[in-house]
Chains A and B, each alone.
Chain A
Amino acid sequence: MTDSVLNARADARARGGQTSEWMPYLPASSSPYRPLGVEALTWAETVAPGGYTHKVLARGTRIRFDDPTGDACAHVIVYNALETVERLNVADTVKIPWQAYLGAGHPLLSGDGRVLATIVEDTSGHHDAFCGTTTEAWNQRKYGDARPEGPSPAGRSLFVKAAAKHGLAPRDLPPSVSFFQGIRVDADGAFEWRGSAGEGTSVELLAELPLLILVANVPHPLDPRPDYVAGPLRVHAWRSAPTGPDDDRFQATPEAHRAYLNTIDYAEARGL
């Protein structure tokens, strides 16, 4: 009965307290999927297949993505939350470390010579920094439907919405990277599909600056399956410490060393 305000309120309130397969968990530490050994979470969520999420996170936050079914594909863009004009630069992210394939120890660099986040753990190894995410034109061609509200939304459409919720426009969307579905480049430059490493893998990022992170969980553009196959993506985050001189990765390479120095220089100047 919703024929009066009182009845409508009772009807609405009766809908609370339920659960679904894809939802945020509040308080975050109440997550039914809390990672082992982590007590206090600051973000916990299961992102729907074809869904998206976004969060502003403190410097030093550790972010864990889990792919429970082997069909997740986490397309990610990160920004300096304090100055969003500083954002993921995929070209620098592969050029500076002299390495195109993402894995543990790889920095996600901004165009400003700083590390936005570091990949600190990786049990998948199947990732991609070449193909970005899908567009409506791509999904219309591949699935016959690319409506953002439809059954096969494109990654870019989801990024547009996530970015807008932080006052950002489509021009603020740079190329993204993706985790859990991989490709390799052959000698002629052709992409070879590697797909998933299987169910139950995880990737952990460490926020080296205050981060705005956008995540779209949609099939990789080169996924050869004709159907829109996507699995849930679990996200958990907790407070930790940014990379510093006591970490092995701080001086692992001269490029990384100078990138961390630039990052710390910025953070200290801002009083972070």
Chain B
Amino acid sequence: MTSTMSLDWSEPLVPGEVVLDDRVAPNASWSAVVRAGHVLTIVDVGGNQSGDCLLYNAADTEERYSVPDTLAWQGNAYVRTDTVLRSNLGNPLMTVVGNEIDRQDTIGGACSKESNTLRYGHHVMFHHGCRENFLSEGAKHGLGLRDLVSNLNWFMNVPVEADGALGIVDGMSAPGKRVAVRADTDVLVLVSNCPQMNNPCNDFNPTPLRMIVVSP
């Protein structure tokens, strides 16, 4: 971690006509509907910045991203290129079509004010968390606590060791690294640019994300 931040805003991982290009400030939340066939590139602008992410069928948000269905269907705990991000009905919501780091996480969940008290102590209860970002961003779309389920963490590194030990460790990403996901149906995407300051998921230094949607 250095105080002189190196930022790389990069460009779409998949070429196409740009239909949306947003910059997400550190600690902030973001949402958009990505139309079927469009590709969302997420740029890790500052390097090792976790982008916590939830997906919903835009036409019926009762159908939403499901970690267990995604993992059981592919028989593997990690998200990589070609991983199909499935719903709680087993249907494809999005597919990873490009990925510039070894693997992406979907087992580490989101940070929250409450879970921070368990991990670090009650003195960090006042810190901001991804669950709070999801709630305020989700509220714009009529979503609430009942709609929060286990999520994706773009650019976060959560290995599972042989004895089942699991945890958030130093990231494998770098400024300008990208992941690209294609919408398989119209998908509402919620993102929390993780504000966590107590573990390495953001290199202890939250940085921006860039969200680019293209029509290939």
A binding-site residues for B, Cβ under 8 Å: 85, 89-92, 94-96, 98-101, 109, 111-114, 130-133, 135-138, 156, 169-176, 184-185, 187-191, 221-222, 255, 258-259, 262
Q: Which residues of B contact A255 (CB under 8 A)?
A: 118-119
Contact between B118 and A258, CB atoms less than 8 A apart: yes
Report the minimum CB–CB distance from B80 to chain A (whole Å). 8
Contact between A95 and B109, CB atoms less than 8 A apart: yes
28 pairs, A vs B, C-beta closer than 8 Å: A85-B145, A90-B68, A90-B109, A91-B107, A94-B166, A98-B166, A99-B164, A111-B112, A111-B131, A112-B114, A113-B115, A113-B118, A131-B71, A135-B88, A135-B89, A138-B73, A156-B88, A169-B146, A171-B61, A171-B64, A175-B150, A190-B77, A191-B71, A191-B72, A191-B77, A221-B72, A255-B118, A262-B118
Contact between B68 and A91, CB atoms less than 8 A apart: no
Report the minimum CB–CB distance from A132 to chain B (whole Å). 3
A-B pair number, CB within 8 angstroms: 143
Contact between A175 and B76, CB atoms less than 8 A apart: no
Q: Which residues of A contact B112 (CB under 8 A)?
A: 111, 113
A171-B147, A189-B78 known; 8 new pairs, CB 8 Å cut-off, are A90-B150, A91-B151, A92-B118, A132-B69, A137-B89, A137-B91, A171-B62, A176-B68
Report the minimum CB–CB distance from B196 to chain A (whole Å). 12
- Interchain CA distance A133-B112 in the complex, whole Å: 26
Contact between B150 and A185, CB atoms less than 8 A apart: no
Asked whether A222 and B72 contact (CB < 8 A) given A90-B67, A170-B62, the answer is yes
Which A residue sits closest to B158, measured CB to CB? A95
Q: Which residues of A contact B62 (CB under 8 A)?
A: 169-171
Contact between B114 and A262, CB atoms less than 8 A apart: yes
Contact between A94 and B91, CB atoms less than 8 A apart: no
Which B residue sits closest to A115, measured CB to CB? B118
Report the minimum CB–CB distance from A107 to chain B (whole Å). 9
Asked whether A111 and B148 contact (CB < 8 A) given A135-B88, A262-B117, the answer is yes
- Interchain CA distance A175-B64 in the complex, whole Å: 11
Which B residue sits closest to A90, measured CB to CB? B150
Q: Which residues of A contact B88 (CB under 8 A)?
A: 135, 156, 170, 173
Contact between A185 and B67, CB atoms less than 8 A apart: no
Asked if B122 lies at the interface with its beta carbon under 8 angstroms from chain A, I say yes
Contact between B115 and A111, CB atoms less than 8 A apart: yes
Q: Which residues of B contact A90 (CB under 8 A)?
A: 67-68, 109, 150
Contact between B150 and A89, CB atoms less than 8 A apart: yes
Which B residue sits closest to A91, measured CB to CB? B109
- Interchain CA distance A94-B158 in the complex, whole Å: 11
Contact between A101 and B117, CB atoms less than 8 A apart: no
Which A residue sits closest to B76, measured CB to CB? A189
Asked if B149 lies at the interface with its beta carbon under 8 angstroms from chain A, I say yes
Q: Which residues of B contact A221 (CB under 8 A)?
A: 68, 72
Contact between A175 and B68, CB atoms less than 8 A apart: yes
Contact between B69 and A135, CB atoms less than 8 A apart: yes
Contact between A175 and B149, CB atoms less than 8 A apart: yes
Asked if B103 lies at the interface with its beta carbon under 8 angstroms from chain A, I say yes
Q: Using a CB-CB cutoff of 8 Å, which residues 88-115 of chain B contact chain A?
A: 88-91, 103, 107-110, 112-115
Q: Which residues of A contact B109 (CB under 8 A)?
A: 89-92, 95
Contact between B122 and A258, CB atoms less than 8 A apart: yes
Contact between B90 and A136, CB atoms less than 8 A apart: yes
Q: Which residues of B contact A85 (CB under 8 A)?
A: 144-146
Report the minimum CB–CB distance from A116 to chain B (whole Å). 13
Which B residue sits closest to A89, measured CB to CB? B109
Q: Which residues of A contact B117 (CB under 8 A)?
A: 113, 258, 262
Q: Which residues of A contact B114 (CB under 8 A)?
A: 111-114, 262
Of the candidates B66, B103, B119, B150, the one whose C-beta lies within 8 Å of that of A96 is B119
Asked if B160 lies at the interface with its beta carbon under 8 angstroms from chain A, I say yes
Contact between B67 and A99, CB atoms less than 8 A apart: no
Asked if B167 lies at the interface with its beta carbon under 8 angstroms from chain A, I say yes
Asked whether A98 and B165 contact (CB < 8 A) given A112-B114, A189-B76, the answer is yes
Contact between B118 and A259, CB atoms less than 8 A apart: yes
Q: Which residues of B contact A132 (CB under 8 A)?
A: 66-69, 72
